[in-house]
Chain A
Amino acid sequence: MSRDGERTDPGAGSVRKAPRLWAGRAATAAMVATVVLVVAGALLYDVVAVRAGQPARRWRAQVADELATRHLDDVWVLLGAGVSVLLGGWLLWLAITPGLRRWLVLRPYGGTDAAIERAGIGHLLADRAAGLRGIDHLRIRVGRRRVRVSVSGPVDPAVVQRQLREELGRVGLARPLRLDVRSWRGAAGGVADGAPDQPDDRAGEAAG
């Protein structure tokens, strides 16, 4: 497993486990807080005004009237409930999921945590592949767990696989990506798998 052992000394900080990135959700939270603030503030103002002897504002009487007259099978009520379900589900999703899917965590080094943009990994791989001869078309998709590369032309997929794995090892991800290279060999039309003799990419990457 020495094929990507470029950097086997990740430094003193590597004993620390790389934390997963969690988005702050600041913008959405601020928006929700503003809406709640406006609605609750208006209601509070009106309730206090009514308690102090003023008549209720028109909007509140109107809302109360609509709520009391429209039945549950009214189109607008159903539409509103549908929107409420979608919005609520989206907010819950934002609350639960980590977010920041564009970023992959690198191995921490000392007191520095780092993350790299997935598109950046794609650029590095494309740049490396550009140095190979015999590639007519190249497509690289960097996912969060694996990189899918499809390549066409007379090039040997195993070579592409080896080169790109080396480049991927150079990135230094905390959780290494799997690398799948598929090849469409021009006119022959056959689909060849890049590395049939390497069933476990992760083992190789983790050793690096």
Chain B
Amino acid sequence: MKILLKNGIVYDPLSNVKGERMDILVENGKIVEKFSSERDVKIIDCSNKVIMPGGIDIHSHIAGGKVNAGRIMRPEDHMYYIKEIEGRIHSGTGYSLPSTWLTGYLYARMGYTFVATPAMPPLSARHTHEELRSIPIIDKTAYTLFGNNWFVFKYVKEKNYEKLSAFVSFILKSVKGFAIKIVNPGGDEAWAWGGNVKSLDDTVPNFDVTPREIIEGLIRANEILNLPHSIHIHTINLGRPGNYKDTIETIRIAGKFENKKRQVMHITHIQFHSYGGTSWKDFESKSEEIVKELERYKNVTFDIGFVLFGETTTMTADGPMEYYLSRLTGLKWQNLGIEIETSPGVTPIIYRKNSPVHSIQFAIGLEIALLSNPWRYCLTTDHPNGAPFIRYPEIIAMLMFKKFRDKIISRANQAIRSRAIIESIDRELDLYEIAIITRASAAKILGLEDKIGTIKPGYDANIAVYDLNPEKIDFHSVIRAFSRAYLTIKDGEIVVKEGRIVREIYGKTFYVEPLIEEDVEKKIYEDLDYFFKRFYSVNLANYPLDTIYLTNPVKIKTETKIKEITI
């Protein structure tokens, strides 16, 4: 199929195209410079329409054990959003926890074509991949949890980075993961006995390692294996007043490391980690301190994790935090401890305008986004923790128009004026910067800029066209346009037309396969045997999964000679 998008206004930061009128040519799923022949070309007039590469969400809980546990636990959430079956396009339900078919459709409708689900426990990886398999249209990938793994504790304690890297490579290969995700390092292990870690230098009970050592060890393993993405970290004390100090400490760990190609640490949903004060009463924004620290450490990137007012579900692999939150709100709580690896939790939350804490949380996200360089961060709500992903257009409008921001601020609790700085910030992002934070920076941070995130010839044709004239925009038109893409093209097929799903196809699944020397890999076999025989409840032979669970798998190979690296 050949498509010619004529005369659109293109924003493509990775190729440095800043709102130029251009024609985009698509043939056989790829973007091309010239058609092979001029026959059978479908011409679509895009004058006065914005063209961007397909959107990329770097951190969104769309599949896996805890997402589905949330779906089962919250039937009430499914009443807020329903979609009927239309011919071959499936039905679905769910607002903060959309069912899998609906997830794909809703992302495509916003012009998104790539989503990463950020917390896959290795033991239930098969579940995550089964769900990803039934998410249509978008490309997907999954980060693997390592922060509370007993093997990691053991090797970090022994300072045996060779074995640690071999283990990380074994797990990533076995479960078809993409990156190292660390959630509350050591905290989940403490939570298995009902406790938590309070600082980066607390000792994890029974294992004699500290969160700081775990983070450092895993950064080392990540650099040794030369993975495309850096470590993806959700640091300790999420959501607690005064936690900005721990975040700053965590950022400083990155100072010890260097990588010329990319960052060495990606801090996720940094908004939840930028709180000042000593209790909920003097809770305040510390976004300036965090931004200042991030300015000093250029090899750290982050995503925001905006909070918007309304009802949603929180879910994270940070078990103790979910318990703590559910006791605060008094709402239902689910814990899903996973042996040896992690301990996720789920609980609903309602962010209220009249709550001082929620209003300040809302402000912090915007503050960090507006004070930072767009190339350093991505737009996320840590779906569904801050807000469901279908509310991204509202965030885009808030970043682009101070007027709209002020309207919401005026309705929020007045604490937002005294204990946050959002009112004093006048910056407004333009469409180019929006294209950076929703596309280009995510592709770059993921280390996939050679595969996704731009509309250069040779790349897969993942394109979003929005019905928006950059010369005449206000927040109404921005929200309308970004909520319902005029066109979404995925792998050269038109999947969304004027906000309606017209075709169901299945996207790619990305995973990494780090190659290391065989004899290094063999060194961990003994430990694997011992751990699986003694502690796991499944056999080692039934642990790895093969590619039948992946739709159109794309393997990213990295090669390392561990022995040649001085560790």
Partners in one complex: no
The residues of B with any CB-CB pair to A shorter than 8 Å are: none
